[in-house]
């Protein structure tokens, strides 16, 4: 058997793991996969994005662990492309490199006041409650009474739901301890989810929207939830998810308040765009100025332009949840307008549209931040198919450099391999059991604690 083709995959989230599994399943030619991540921990958004009260979704990591146990798989954690290693060094050592780095930051609203104190990117809040070590120091003032979450997608729902969960509900999740402490002391009474279009156009998926109706501490309200005539007409051609979203929204609109009223009101406010965040005298957000929108037909499609009717929603806390976007990394060709690595079907293209030999891309940084975890399986399959086609045609990179491991041992001071991650995992799960028999883990949310745990060193209070 000839020596395997060596492939580096950058990013140990779902799309990276799916690409690894698919390559390792090929018998001829044979591939060896090195999976890199800048964090000492694998699983990407399954660990740092999926809501802590959704443990079933996280059980997908069992399939990733199976991939990691393959004899031709290695994990190189705590290694950052562009800092610890360069794109060139990868290309000198691998027949192919697959970028699976996800979309690292939030899309901006571009409205005045967006950066006032008390206004946060939902992406940061999500990373904070999930114990991402870059975000554990985020200061969230939950003494606020009123919060507005801007956007009508599943991340907005996650944020609103996390704000509404009670201490007993949080205690059995892997929400980071620092976040549980703050959330348990929360004074939030009103959470408004602000959607610029109507219930028919919202980006929620049904199970996530339905879950809002099961919140034990919140009553629901709906503002502007009635379908306009154009949306009503469009309903017959709508897909199942959207049709069901409308039904759920109508159910919520028709609900009476509980007796006695629950401590929190979650309000779905449709057909309104934020136009400005307004400040109090301390420079802290005090309200969201909104413009009422209306559904109109434009170029054969439904659009939701503003009507110039302005009003204010009082809010001392704002989460901007209008989607993620990618960031350029390490000189890899980047499409600024789309916030993605420039590519055609997963093959990286340079700025003049020529193929970059041996470079591929998968997941959100290839297609944009859409779909659920499983969507990445098909996406990676498509990218791997291109790689296999190129391997068969002799169009992969011809690496002359040696094995990456030697370079990493010299260079990446805190390299964490799979057994290092397993040590972190063991420490976290043991701390979870000690905290509550039903708690899956207590996440280590600090870089140094993670490094120490990866070396089997006990952390503060003997937790690790």
Residues at the site binding ligand NAP, with contacts judged by CB under 6 A: 109, 150-156, 158, 196-197, 201-203, 205, 208, 273, 321-324, 369-372
| Shortest Å, Cβ 273 to ligand NAP | 5
For residue 127, is it left (φ>0), alpha (ψ between -120 and 50) or beta? alpha
Distance CA 183, CA 179 (A): 6
Nearer to ligand NAP by Cβ, of 3 and 337: the residue is 337
CB 118, min distance to ligand NAP, A:
18
CB of 109 or CB of 444, closer to ligand NAP = 109
Q: 227: which 2 tokens?
A: 């379908």
Yes or no: say if 305 and 271 are a contact pair by the CB < 8 Å rule.
no
Between 198 and 358, CB nearer to ligand NAP: 198
Report in angstroms how near the CB of residue 215 gets to ligand NAP at its nearest: 15
Min. distance of Cβ 301 from ligand NAP in angstroms? 12
Residue nearest to ligand NAP (CB): 153
Q: Quick one: tokens of 445? A: 């949310």
Nearest-approach distance from CB 435 to ligand NAP, in angstroms: 25
CB of 360 to ligand NAP, least distance (A): 22
Residue 98 vs 322, nearer CB to ligand NAP: 322
CB of 369 to ligand NAP, least distance (A): 5
Q: From CA 22, how far away is CA 376, in angstroms rounded?
A: 12
Both tokens assigned to 336: 């600024």
Q: DSSP string covering 106-150, please?
A: EPP---TTTTSBTEEEHHHHHHHHTT-TTTTT----TT-SEEEEE
Q: What is the spatial distance between Cα 248 and Cα 268, in angstroms, rounded to a whole number?
A: 12
Taking the least distance from each CB to ligand NAP, the nearer of 51 and 408 is 51
* Cα–Cα distance for residue pair 429/100, rounded to 1 Å: 27
- Chain centre distance of CA 268: 22
Question: Considering beta carbons, is residue 374 or 406 the nearer one to ligand NAP?
Answer: 374
Q: For residues 312 and 436, which CB has a smaller minimum distance to ligand NAP in the complex?
A: 312
Nearer of residues 127 and 155 to ligand NAP, judged by Cβ: 155
Nearest distance, CB of residue 300 and ligand NAP, angstroms: 17
Residue from 327, 347, 349 nearest 338 by CA: 327
Joined tokens for residue 197: 């279009």
CA 25 – CA 346 distance, rounded (Å): 19
CA 96/CA 392 separation, integer angstroms: 13
């Amino acid at each position: 058997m000839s020596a395997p083709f060596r492939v580096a995959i950058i990013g140990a989230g779902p799309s990276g793991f799916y690409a690894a599994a698919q390559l390792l399943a090929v018998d001829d030619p044979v591939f060896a996969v090195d999976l890199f991540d800048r964090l000492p921990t694998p699983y990407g958004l399954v660990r740092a994005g999926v809501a802590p009260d959704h443990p079933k979704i996280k059980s997908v990591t069992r399939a990733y662990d199976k991939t990691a146990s393959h004899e031709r798989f290695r994990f190189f954690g705590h290694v950052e492309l562009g800092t610890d290693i360069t794109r060139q060094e990868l290309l000198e050592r691998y027949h192919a490199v697959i970028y699976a780095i996800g979309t690292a930051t939030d899309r901006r609203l571009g409205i005045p006041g967006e950066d006032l104190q008390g206004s946060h990117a939902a992406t940061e809040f999500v990373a904070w409650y999930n114990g991402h070590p870059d975000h554990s120091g985020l200061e969230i003032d939950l003494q606020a009474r009123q919060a507005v979450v801007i956007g009508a997608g599943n991340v907005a729902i996650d944020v609103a739901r996390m704000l509404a969960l009670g201490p007993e509900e949080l205690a059995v999740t892997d929400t980071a301890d620092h976040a549980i402490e703050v959330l348990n002391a929360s004074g939030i009474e009103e959470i408004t989810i602000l959607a610029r279009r109507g219930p028919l156009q919202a980006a929620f998926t049904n199970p996530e929207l339905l879950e809002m109706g099961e919140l034990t501490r919140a009553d629901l309200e709906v503002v502007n939830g009635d379908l306009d005539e154009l949306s009503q007409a469009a309903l017959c051609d709508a897909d199942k998810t959207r049709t069901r979203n409308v039904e759920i929204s109508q159910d919520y609109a028709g609900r009476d308040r509980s007796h006695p009223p629950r401590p929190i009101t979650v309000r779905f406010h449709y057909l309104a765009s934020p136009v400005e965040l307004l400040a109090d005298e301390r420079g802290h957000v005090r309200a969201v100025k909104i413009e009422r929108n209306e559904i109109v037909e434009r170029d054969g499609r439904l659009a939701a332009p503003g009507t110039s009717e302005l009003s204010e929603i009082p809010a001392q806390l704002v989460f901007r949840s209008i989607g993620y976007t990618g960031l350029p990394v390490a000189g890899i060709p980047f499409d600024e307008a789309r916030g993605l690595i420039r590519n055609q079907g997963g093959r990286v293209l340079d700025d003049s549209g020529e193929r970059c030999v041996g470079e591929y891309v998968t997941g959100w940084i290839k297609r944009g931040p859409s779909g659920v975890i499983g969507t990445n399986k098909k996406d990676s399959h498509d990218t791997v198919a291109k790689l296999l086609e190129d391997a068969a045609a002799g169009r992969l990179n011809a690496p002359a450099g040696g094995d990456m491991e030697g370079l990493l041992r010299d260079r990446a001071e805190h390299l964490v391999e799979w057994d290092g991650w397993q040590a972190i995992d063991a420490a976290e799960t043991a701390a979870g059991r000690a905290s509550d028999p039903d708690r899956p883990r207590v996440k280590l949310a600090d870089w140094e604690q993670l490094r120490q745990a990866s070396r089997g060193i006990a952390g503060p209070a003997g937790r690790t």
